[in-house]
């Protein structure tokens, strides 16, 4: 089917037809290749033309650069639809007809005060909405609040996402037992997309054969798989999530280097973690990457400088001793703590998962790749594909930060706070 304004015509997949009428909440969830992002990008362009002076903010929970935003997709849509001349593309934003604007921001960067700058906006489009925290959702919803007039619709909140868990805030809001008033939500997958390209279908069929455990999540929009007997669970991670860290007492950057250059074991796990003034642990950043050892070390040193960390923790098994030298070539005098594994990854991970169960560790923001690996780690081993490098890096970091707690829990599984009540230090290096 097609939709049109006075200046353009858009071919729209039937699955998205319910989203064309005005509604306070519009949600599209499903797997890869469903066309969700393309639909909302086209509707953003259409609304700006149909209603001059429209203001739209495109947000995600964490946006480290505009490359992570939907900005390029919207730019492409203005050209494909033949209306590029009506829009002014700038480095940080897009000017729209009649003096409107499209902004691109990360919700994690907003405070209760700064979010007020969006009160006069017409639309908030949340991309990758599965990563949106409850804090961000609670700030955003009352901020986008313009009433409809006789010639303009009221403000709208758009969400597109590939579901991870029923406990994710966006799922609880738009797929829970009771929808908010004036909400329209559709599920779309590749089979609903009449424009689904052949090359992407080849990718889908490859994953169906070679990655069956994740196929339903990736391509059918089902919840993320979680291993039976996993030592972490998504609810615990979500309940402990924070929007900002407290004052930090100690911060480390921990590295689990890639073992080989082969797919599945070629990622360097690089996690920033620390202990706050409140005595609790915090995952502050996940800067893991593929690449050469030199690129890994450059990324780790950059994180060290950015977070003003106290040390870099490096696993030196499998010839990793060379990382210490390489790190110090990049940054002379860098404090490096070498650790060597004598037990399996899952054995080392269990004491750290105990800290999560006791409510001692929080994630500052959302780290989807790390959290997915965590929920596939069981007492018997890792149930996912490849190597859980991000989890292992995180485990090394907290093992260094909480040596007394993790050592004690490894054997006795006591109340971890006992050490703090007795006045003993739980923080490595203090």
Q: How far is CA 225 from the centre of its chain?
A: 17
pLDDT at res. 427: 42
Q: Domain 234-421: state its class.
A: alpha beta
Task: Kindly indicate the confidence band of residue 72, based on its pLDDT and cuts at 50, 70 and 90.
Answer: very high
Instruction: Look up the CATH number of domain 2-192.
Output: 3.40.50.300
pLDDT tens-place string over residues 13-34: 999 999 999 999 999 999 999 9
pLDDT at res. 372: 85
Kindly state the percentage of the chain with pLDDT values over 90: 63
Task: Kindly indicate the confidence band of residue 413, based on its pLDDT and cuts at 50, 70 and 90.
Answer: very low
Q: How far apart are the first and last CA of the chain?
A: 66
Task: Kindly indicate the confidence band of residue 420, based on its pLDDT and cuts at 50, 70 and 90.
Answer: very low
pLDDT at res. 407: 53
pLDDT at res. 183: 97
pLDDT tens-place string over residues 336-390: 999 887 666 778 889 999 999 999 999 998 888 898 899 889 988 888 778 899 9
pLDDT tens-place string over residues 113-149: 999 999 999 999 999 999 999 999 999 999 999 999 9
The answer, yes or no, to whether residue 51 has pLDDT greater than 90, is: yes
Task: Kindly indicate the confidence band of residue 424, based on its pLDDT and cuts at 50, 70 and 90.
Answer: very low
Listed residue (146, 130, 137) closest to 180, CA to CA:
137
pLDDT at res. 15: 96
What mean pLDDT do residues 32-59 have? 96
Kindly state the percentage of the chain with pLDDT values over 70: 89
The answer, yes or no, to whether residue 265 has pLDDT greater than 90, is: no
pLDDT at res. 319: 57
Task: Kindly indicate the confidence band of residue 318, based on its pLDDT and cuts at 50, 70 and 90.
Answer: low
Domain spans in the chain, listed from the N-terminal domain onward = 2-192, 234-421
pLDDT at res. 346: 76
Tell me which of 63 and 200 has the higher pLDDT: 200
């Amino acid at each position: 089917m097609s939709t049109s304004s006075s200046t353009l015509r858009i071919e729209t997949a039937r699955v998205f037809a319910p989203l064309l009428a005005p509604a306070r909440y519009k949600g599209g969830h499903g797997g890869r290749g469903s066309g969700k992002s393309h639909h909302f990008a086209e509707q953003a362009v259409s609304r700006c033309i149909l209603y001059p002076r429209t203001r739209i903010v495109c947000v995600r929970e964490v946006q480290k650069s505009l490359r992570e935003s939907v900005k390029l997709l919207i730019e492409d849509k203005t050209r494909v639809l033949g209306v590029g001349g009506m829009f002014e593309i700038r480095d940080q934003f897009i000017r729209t007809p009649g003096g409107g604007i499209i902004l691109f921001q990360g919700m994690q960067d907003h405070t209760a005060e700064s979010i007020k700058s969006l009160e006069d906006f017409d639309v908030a489009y949340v991309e990758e909405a599965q990563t949106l925290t409850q804090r961000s959702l609670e700030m955003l919803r009352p901020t986008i609040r313009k009433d409809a007039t006789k010639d303009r619709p009221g403000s709208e909140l758009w969400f597109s996402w590939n579901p991870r868990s029923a406990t994710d805030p966006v799922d609880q809001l738009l797929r829970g037992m009771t929808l908010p008033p004036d909400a329209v939500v559709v599920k779309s997958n590749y089979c609903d997309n009449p424009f689904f390209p052949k090359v992407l279908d080849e990718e889908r069929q490859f994953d169906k054969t070679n990655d069956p455990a994740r196929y339903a999540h990736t391509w059918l929009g089902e919840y993320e798989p979680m291993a039976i007997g996993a030592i972490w669970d998504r609810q615990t991670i979500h309940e402990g999530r924070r929007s900002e860290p407290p004052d930090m007492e100690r911060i480390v950057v921990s590295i689990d280097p890639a073992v080989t250059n082969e797919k599945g074991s070629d990622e360097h796990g690089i996690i920033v973690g620390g202990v706050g003034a409140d005595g609790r642990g915090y995952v502050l950043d996940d800067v893991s990457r593929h690449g050469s050892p030199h690129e890994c070390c450059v990324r780790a040193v950059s994180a060290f400088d950015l977070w003003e960390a106290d040390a870099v923790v490096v696993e030196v098994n499998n010839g990793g001793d060379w990382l210490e030298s390489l790190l110090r070539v990049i940054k002379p005098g860098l404090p490096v703590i070498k650790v060597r594994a004598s037990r399996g990854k899952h054995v080392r991970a269990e004491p750290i998962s105990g800290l999560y169960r006791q409510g001692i560790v929080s994630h500052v923001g959302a780290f989807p790749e790390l959290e997915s690996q965590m929920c596939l780690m069981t007492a018997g081993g890792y149930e996912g594909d490849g190597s859980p490098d991000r989890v292992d890096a995180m485990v090394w970091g907290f093992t260094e930060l909480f040596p007394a707690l993790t050592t004690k829990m490894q054997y006795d599984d006591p109340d971890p706070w006992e050490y703090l009540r007795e006045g003993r230090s739980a923080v490595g290096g203090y």
